[in-house]
Amino acid sequence: MYTTLISAADLAGHIDNPAWVIVDCRHDLMNLSAGREAYAAGHLPHALFADIETALSGARRGADGAFRGRHPLPLRADLVATLRNWGIDDDTQVIAYDAHGGMFAARLWWMLRWIGHPAVAVLDGGMAAWQAAGLALSSDAPAPKTGSLTEGAPLVATVSAADVLDNVKTGNKVVLDARAADRFRGENETIDPVGGHIPGAKNHFFKDNLGPDGRFKDAAQLKAELAPLVGDPHKAIMQCGSGVTACHNLLALEVAGLPGAALYPGSWSEWCADPARPIATGT
């Protein structure tokens, strides 16, 4: 079972395994059709396409009308139904990939763990690693099949905006923001309406989890870099702009042998939507 990362070589050895499901998570936050267009132009053999905006996100507003962020989690039952429609069973090995260093694939990795499915991994290096190995792409969509995945107990933790607000007051937990440093400081904000960060948060840009080759750094290096930031991971909260790249930091923590941190799914996009919540700028 692969539970964090898989190399292109190892995936190639299983590419025709009918018990494996491969999911293309390519996306562009500024061009919402780019992922699907890239998939149509060529993808890993047998891969399905996951739309971050629909398949891997829920309604932006809750029953009370409150904004839940740009990529709120779907209902667990809805996610299970989506995964079944992709042919996923309880014993299926799922592999997620993208062309962005795992930026979007890590979201699917985390979500499968959220519904209790441990057999999920991210293709280390993504499309670039696959193509660098000289491996073929396909433009054929796989035949649809229905899986029998059952919903299990979460293997990961989440916190709400109210939990984070309480933590701003108590400081009991470390909050780690996965956005780029300038957005964390409140500069060059082009996605959300308000710039800044959650008071007391630290910054660890998700791309810092990767080496120059676009693959994740090894476990020892990740631990050396992340452990001083998070301390006890069970007392840490990961967030970002909308709950996507925070999953990259969660994956890096898992690779580093530092499991247990929680995700704030709404992240900055939900947080800054309520003017009553405090914000900070600068470092």
Cβ(269)–Cβ(241) below 8 Å:
yes
Is residue 240 part of the annotated active site? The answer reads: yes
Query: Which listed residue (25, 240, 247, 272) is catalytic?
Result: 240
Look at residue 155 and give its three-state secondary structure. coil
Residue 243 is given by DSSP the state S
Cβ(181)–Cβ(196) below 8 Å:
no
In this structure, what token pair is assigned to residue 104?
Answer: 């979007």
Strands 202-203 and 174-177: parallel
Residue type, 218: D
In this structure, what token pair is assigned to residue 67?
Answer: 């904004």
Nearest to 177 by CA among 156, 195, 151, 157: 195
- Cβ neighbors of 229 (< 8 A, separation 6 or more) are 174, 176, 202, 204
108: left (phi over 0), alpha (psi -120 to 50) or beta: alpha
Cβ(85)–Cβ(51) below 8 Å:
no
Q: Which residues are marked as active site?
A: 240
